Structure 1
Amino acid sequence: MNWSNTFSPLSLSSSAPLPKLMLTHLESWAVISAVGDDKISYLQGQLTCDLVSLDKQQATFGAHCDAKGKVWSAFRAFYHRDGLAMFQPKSALEKELAELKKYAIFSKVTLEASQDIALGVIGEQASEFIAEFANPDQQVSAFEHGTAVKIDSQRWLLLVSGEFANSLVNDSQAELVSESIWTRLDIENAVPIVHEKQQNEHIPQALNLQALGGICFTKGCYTGQETVARAKYRGINKRALFSLAGNTLENIDNFCEQELERSVGENWRSAGTIMAGYQFNDGHAIALAVLPNNLEPDTQFRLKAQPETQWSIQPLPYSLDDE
């Protein structure tokens, strides 16, 4: 299949409404599939989330950490076909899969990259579109050609066979758009996007995973659990994921390489690196960044490469209280 000429960038201003129905190929995303009798018991000892209590009609956020509690991968997990799927950025997959498989030889579990196609259905008519082949009343709905996962009120993830994806794209009346709109909505929902460059940089709480239901503090031992528990009970975590809005003076090809500076009196100091960003066509932009969690809400920022820009912290769509 050649998807490259099918999906076009969606150029919108920061005040323009989204089209009512869009379809995108999530080509920079990938899925690790876990199958076998021990898939749940094995992953339960590796991941921050509770898979034992995960219903087949539910999805959960989670993270996979190293022994020091630093995150290899942040993902959505859900049942798919005969196993469990972990949906995450493709650039993180190689290292994440190698680390996840380290001790799998002792369990009846096979871990591999899924060959299914990831599509995103977006817009106020997304659930109506999904209802043509899956159950929109379930968060996770299995159907003949794959799995539909409700991401939020206007987004669904489809993990499907190549044949079904091809027919869906060719027959759909949805506007075919590039996946940058998916990134935009992840940013607006303050969902961490851990690419290869962010691997082993942060503990799960610095990515707000406790607020997204991605950490179970009662499930027992897993890799990195000691650090994650200390961050909760001893308050050792000093960072959080922030949503930012500002302006750009020119087009930015890769937000993940952009450094932020924050105002300190009359001076500017390094604040961190942007995790993900999205530009509108009117000069406005939004981004996610892991920053010190004791910043004042009115702290001002700028892009180091564009010092004339102005950025500020935006309210999160959820509480950072992990209780």
Structure 2
Amino acid sequence: MTESTNAWLQFLAQSGASFDQERPHEVTGFGDLPGIPRNVVSPLTDLGLIGATGDDAANFLHNQLTNDVEHLDMGSARLAGYCSPKGRMLASFLMWRGSEGFFLQLPRAIQPAVQKRLQMFILRAKAKLADRGDELPTLGLAGESVGDLLKKWFPSLPAQPWQKSDSEAGTLIRVPDADGLPRYRWTAPVAILVQAWPELVTLATPAATALWRLLDIRAGLPQVTQATQEQFVPQMVNYELIGGVNFKKGCYPGQEIVARSQYLGKLKRRMMLASVDSLDARAGMEVFSSEDPDQPCGMIVNAEPNFSHGCDCLVELKTAAAEAGSVHLGAAGGPVLAFRALPYPLPA
């Protein structure tokens, strides 16, 4: 850990945070919660941040990722995928432009390998990649009243999902609502978040990192993790439906396969939202259809406990399996998945 990481995690510990022993960056809570508070602040310590600078940074990233980087303006953020030559996702990013370059936010656990792979393809381009996550941590804020609170630091709040505001207090990105709650990600230097924290928690209840991931699941936003790298073409996890793929931007690794999946034939696999009466659900776990119990029909993309003795999950599967029979976790005789409507429509 760097000095900045230690300072932020030590501050959170002094503020009542508990941590996962196996994943020391994971804030497991600030005490028991009976459910999702109406206003919540969650340290997103499970996320890493890659900074890209240099004259060729925009062009380099544009040629590597599934979304348009060259035309990304200062008032917007975008999702983007990084694919293998076979079109399978190695990472999913939240991406934005800063005054000095670009930022790519992704799970901390896969950042070193992803950053190393990107670095291999810079070659003679005038671009540099750096790990910026320790010096620029992120808070997730959700709730009916957090916008009014944030106006102290960001007089002009981003009004719509994927809009961004910058101030001396850092970067604030509006992300899609979940459970009817407006949501924001605030990325800033450690000292600024440390100073703001006491005021934030007078209104917002501090909560575990996992609660924010649960809200992402309910918003239908997938995150590629170690367990699911190279498992999905972007459309399998609805990435083009939530703005993560630009089909007009030109070549990137796997682009031909991604385009072929989009334009040739009907997509037979999609990501859906489900609940399951089990706490065993986890990313990478297979699911099985009662109509074809001998082979898996899909895979859990993300899963988190839901305060109801079970888990909410995003599951990628054959659309036919969701329409016929029942779908089970782990085996044909496992717990049944109860499918729910996503907050955005799937194509007919």
- Structure-2-length-normalised TM-score: 0.83
Q: What is aligned with 2:145?
A: 125
Q: What is aligned with 1:147?
A: 171
Residues 299 and 313 in structure 1, CA contact (< 8 A), matched pair in contact too: no
What does 1:89-108 correspond to in 2, within 5 Å?
89-108=107-126
Correspondence for 1:256 among 255, 258, 283 = 283
**Segment of structure 1 superposing worse, 43-52 or 300-309:** 300-309
Q: What is aligned with 2:186?
A: 158
Q: In the TM superposition, what whole-angstrom CA distance separates every residue of 1:249-306 from its partner, at most 9, and x where no partner exists? A: xx44x722543222117x5643333222122333243101211233343542222379
Task: Measure how far apart 1:150 and its partner are.
Answer: 0.6
When residues 31 and 43 of structure 1 are mapped into structure 2, their CA distance, relative to the original with a 3 A threshold, is same
Q: What is aligned with 1:222?
A: 252
Question: Structure 1: how far apart are the matches of 2:274 and 2:189?
Answer: 37
Task: Measure how far apart 1:210 and its partner are.
Answer: 0.9
Aligned to 1:91, the other structure's residue is in SS state: coil
Q: In the TM superposition, what whole-angstrom CA distance separates every residue of 1:122-170 from its partner, at most 9, and x where no partner exists? A: 1111211221111214521111132111112421111110111111223
Residues 298 and 313 in structure 1, CA contact (< 8 A), matched pair in contact too: no
Q: What is aligned with 2:46?
A: 28
Question: Structure 2: how far apart are the matches of 1:167 and 1:81?
Answer: 23
Question: Structure 1: how far apart are the matches of 2:341 and 2:209?
Answer: 24
When residues 100 and 24 of structure 1 are mapped into structure 2, their CA distance, relative to the original with a 3 A threshold, is same
When residues 307 and 9 of structure 1 are mapped into structure 2, their CA distance, relative to the original with a 3 A threshold, is farther
Question: Structure 2: how far apart are the matches of 1:245 and 1:90?
Answer: 26
Task: Measure how far apart 1:10 and its partner are.
Answer: 5.3
Asked whether 1:301 is paired with 2:327, we answer yes
**Segment of structure 1 superposing worse, 19-28 or 165-174:** 165-174
Equivalent residue letter for 1:264: E
Equivalent residue letter for 2:34: L
Asked whether 1:87 is paired with 2:117, we answer no
Equivalent residue letter for 2:74: K
Task: Measure how far apart 1:176 and its partner are.
Answer: 1.0
Which of structures 1 and 2 has the larger relative contact order (alpha carbons within 8 angstroms, sep 6+)?
1
**Segment of structure 1 superposing worse, 99-108 or 55-64:** 99-108
Q: What is aligned with 1:283?
A: 309
Residues 275 and 339 in structure 2, CA contact (< 8 A), matched pair in contact too: yes
Aligned to 1:106, the other structure's residue is in SS state: coil
Question: Structure 2: how far apart are the matches of 1:199 and 1:211?
Answer: 20
When residues 262 and 131 of structure 1 are mapped into structure 2, their CA distance, relative to the original with a 3 A threshold, is same
Q: What is aligned with 1:8?
A: 30
Residues 269 and 317 in structure 2, CA contact (< 8 A), matched pair in contact too: yes
When residues 199 and 212 of structure 1 are mapped into structure 2, their CA distance, relative to the original with a 3 A threshold, is same
Asked whether 1:55 is paired with 2:70, we answer no
Equivalent residue letter for 1:159: T
Residues 299 and 312 in structure 1, CA contact (< 8 A), matched pair in contact too: no
Residues 21 and 124 in structure 1, CA contact (< 8 A), matched pair in contact too: yes
Residues 63 and 73 in structure 1, CA contact (< 8 A), matched pair in contact too: yes
Aligned to 1:104, the other structure's residue is in SS state: coil
When residues 236 and 97 of structure 1 are mapped into structure 2, their CA distance, relative to the original with a 3 A threshold, is farther
Q: What is aligned with 1:136?
A: 157
- Measured on the aligned residues, the alpha-carbon RMSD in Å equals 2.3
Question: Structure 1: how far apart are the matches of 2:186 and 2:299?
Answer: 31
- Structure-1-length-normalised TM-score: 0.89
**Segment of structure 1 superposing worse, 297-306 or 38-47:** 297-306
Structure 1: runs of 5+ lacking an equivalent:
none
Q: In the TM superposition, what whole-angstrom CA distance separates every residue of 1:163-218 from its partner, at most 9, and x where no partner exists? A: 11111223321211111111111111111110112111111111211111111111
Task: Measure how far apart 1:236 and its partner are.
Answer: 7.4
Equivalent residue letter for 1:150: R
Question: Structure 2: how far apart are the matches of 1:167 and 1:92?
Answer: 30
Q: Percent identity?
A: 24
